[in-house]
Structure 1
Amino acid sequence: MSLTGGKRFGAGRSGRTAATVVAAVAACSGIGWTAVALTSSSTAARPPVTCAYTPTGAGPRTVGVPSFDADSAGRPLTFRLTTGEGTVTVKALTEDAPCATNSFSYLAGKKYFDGSKCHRLTTKGIFVLECGDPAGVGNSDPGYSYPDENLAGAVYPAGTVAVSKAQPGRNGGQFFISYGDPAFRLNPDWTPFGKVVEGLDVVKRIAAKGTASGEPDGAPKEPVVLTAVTVQRP
C-alpha cells in the first residue's frame, strides 16, 4: 500500500526517520486502532456485480485487461505466494471484493507477479510487506486500474491482504500483507481482498531482518522475490 501523496501506500522510503514515518502515517490515518476482524460477507441479498477495468497505458509488464464473469464472482479462491522464505497461502474474499480478487487471479494466471521483488517493508507504526510491482519500485501498474471496493468498516489487522495504489486512486497489481496489527487505526482507503490462512510466519521472518537502510520504512534488507503466484479453485 502506498501512503505518499495522502493515500498512496508505498513510496518515499529512504532517508525518513522513524518519527517522520509514523507522523506521516498518523496524519493520513488517525489514531485509535481497534483490533476487529476483516469485513465479512453479508447474508443480505447482493446486487449484481459489475467490474470496470480501465486501461492506463504501458506498464513494466502489461498483460492486457481482464474480463469479468459475474456468475463466478463469489466462488472460493485461494492464492499461493511462493518466496525464498516459504509459501504464504491467502483465502480470497471473493464475495466482498470480487473485482480485486478477479484482477489478482487474472494477473497470477498471466504470471505477472512471477520473479518480481517485494519493494517495501515497514517495521514501525504499520507492519506491512508490499509487493506486486514487476519494476520493484512501487510506482507502476499492470496497464489497467479499477475502483476501490469493500471499504465500509475496513481495517487492516495482521493477516490482511489488501490492494496498494501505484498512484492515488489507481488500483492495479500492487498489494500488501499486514504481518502485525497497526499501532493506530488506518483510514479505510485500501481494498481488503484476502486473508492469510497459512504462512504469516514467513512474512514475519522477512520483517525480522529489517530494511536495507535500517530505517523503519524501505526495501527489505534481503531481496524478497515472488517466485510464483498461483490460484487454486476447489
Structure 2
Amino acid sequence: MPSSKQSIRTLAAVALIAGTTAVTAPQASAKPESPASGPTTGACAFTPLEDQTYSTWTGLPPDPKKAQTHGKAAVVLQTNHGDIPVILDKAGAPCTVASFLYLTKEKFYDGTQCHRLTAYHTAPYALSVLQCGDPLGTGWGDPGYWFKDELNTAKSLPNWPGFEDGSRKNYTRGLLAMANGGPDTNGSQFFLVYEDSRLRPDYTVFGHITEEGMAVLDKIAAAGVAPSDEGYPEDGAPAMTTIIERAKRTGAGGA
C-alpha cells in the first residue's frame, strides 16, 4: 500500500515487521505521465506520488471543499467465486470512501487479483485478512496518488485482550479497511477481515462486508494459502485464485 508498495505485513503484527513480503517487486517500468502537479485543494488533498513506477494512473478523485460525511454507499465486488457486497461508511472515512468510489467508477479494480491471504491463527498472532486492490497483483501497485489516514473509527475499535492501552485493536470479522505502507500512504489496496485480527489502530476502517459477502470470503479463506507460496501456510497468495472481475456501485447503502 503506499506508497502502497508494501503490504500490511510490514506493520501488522510482530511477525510481520521488516517488510518480509512474499511477493517479488516487479521490474521498474517507465513512469506514467501524470497531468497533476500537486494535491487537490479540497478537504482530502489527494496527492500524486512522486514515484509512479508501479502506478496505474487514472487521475485524481474529485475533492469537495467540505468532506462528505453523511450517508453510506454500497459497492459489490463481483469475483470469480461470487459477489462480495460491501457497505462504505462516509461518516468515519469520507476521503477513503470518495477515493474508493472514484476508483470503482473508473473501473480501476476490474480484473484485479486479490494477491494476499493471511492465516495467522496461533497466539500471540492473529491476522486473518484477504488483501485486494493492487492492479499489478503483486503487493506493489497503486493508483498514482496517496491520501491521509482517517483513524477515528480504528481507534474506537475494541482493544485486543491484554492491550488496555489501546495500542492493539481488534479489527473484527467483517470489517473493510485500507492497507498502507506507513502513516498517510493510502492508495488503492484494501483488506477484508474474515476473522478477528490484532492490529495497531493504523489502518483506516471505511466499511463492512455484508453477510452474503462473508459467505464468499469464508470460502476463499477456508482454502488457505497456496502451497506453492513461500509464505505457506500462514501468508501468501490465496489457494483459490481470486479475481475482482468487476467492482460496481449498487446504491446508497444500508445500515
Cα deviation for residue 207 of structure 1 reads 1.0
Q: Secondary structure at the match of 2:72?
A: coil
**Which residue does the alignment assign to 1:199?**
213
Q: Secondary structure at the match of 1:200?
A: helix
Name the CA distance, whole Å, in 2 between partners of 1:7 and 1:200. 22
Are 1:129 and 2:130 counterparts?
A: yes
Cα deviation for residue 71 of structure 1 reads 7.0
Cα deviation for residue 187 of structure 1 reads 1.1
Name the CA distance, whole Å, in 1 between partners of 2:201 and 2:74. 24
Cα deviation for residue 66 of structure 1 reads 0.7
Are 1:86 and 2:82 counterparts?
A: yes
Cα deviation for residue 13 of structure 1 reads 4.2
**1:79-114 CA deviation, whole Å, 9 max, x = no partner?**
111101111111111111000000000000000000
Q: Is the 8 A contact 2:88 2:208 kept in 1?
A: yes
Q: Secondary structure at the match of 2:99?
A: helix
**Which residue does the alignment assign to 1:76?**
72
**Which residue does the alignment assign to 2:20?**
12
Name the CA distance, whole Å, in 1 between partners of 2:225 and 2:74. 29
Q: Is the 8 A contact 1:160 1:192 kept in 2?
A: yes
**1:30-72 CA deviation, whole Å, 9 max, x = no partner?**
xxxxxxxxxxxxxxxxxxx921111004344210011223374
Letter in 2 for 1:136: G
Letter in 1 for 2:105: G
**Which residue does the alignment assign to 1:142?**
143
The TM-score, its normalising length taken from structure 2, stands at 0.71
The structure 2 residue matched to 1:63, chosen from 47, 51, 58, is 58
Q: Secondary structure at the match of 1:111?
A: coil
Q: Bigger CA drift: 150-159 or 4-13? A: 4-13
Q: How many pairs align?
A: 198
Name the CA distance, whole Å, in 2 between partners of 1:217 and 1:73. 35
The structure 1 residue matched to 2:101, chosen from 92, 98, 105, is 105
Q: Which runs of 5+ in 1 are unaligned?
A: 16-48
Q: Secondary structure at the match of 2:188?
A: strand
The structure 1 residue matched to 2:182, chosen from 160, 168, 171, is 168
Cα deviation for residue 143 of structure 1 reads 0.6
Letter in 2 for 1:202: V
Letter in 1 for 2:216: V
Letter in 1 for 2:20: G
Name the CA distance, whole Å, in 2 between partners of 1:210 and 1:174. 20
The structure 2 residue matched to 1:189, chosen from 196, 202, 207, is 202
Letter in 2 for 1:174: Q
Q: Is the 8 A contact 1:54 1:144 kept in 2?
A: yes
Cα deviation for residue 209 of structure 1 reads 1.0
Name the CA distance, whole Å, in 2 between partners of 1:94 and 1:179. 22
Q: Is the 8 A contact 1:73 1:102 kept in 2?
A: no
Cα deviation for residue 76 of structure 1 reads 2.2
Are 1:52 and 2:45 counterparts?
A: yes
How many percent identity over aligned positions? 35
Q: Which runs of 5+ in 2 are unaligned?
A: 2-6, 24-41, 121-125, 158-169
Q: 1:204 to 1:3 in 2, by over 3 A?
A: same
Q: Secondary structure at the match of 1:190?
A: coil
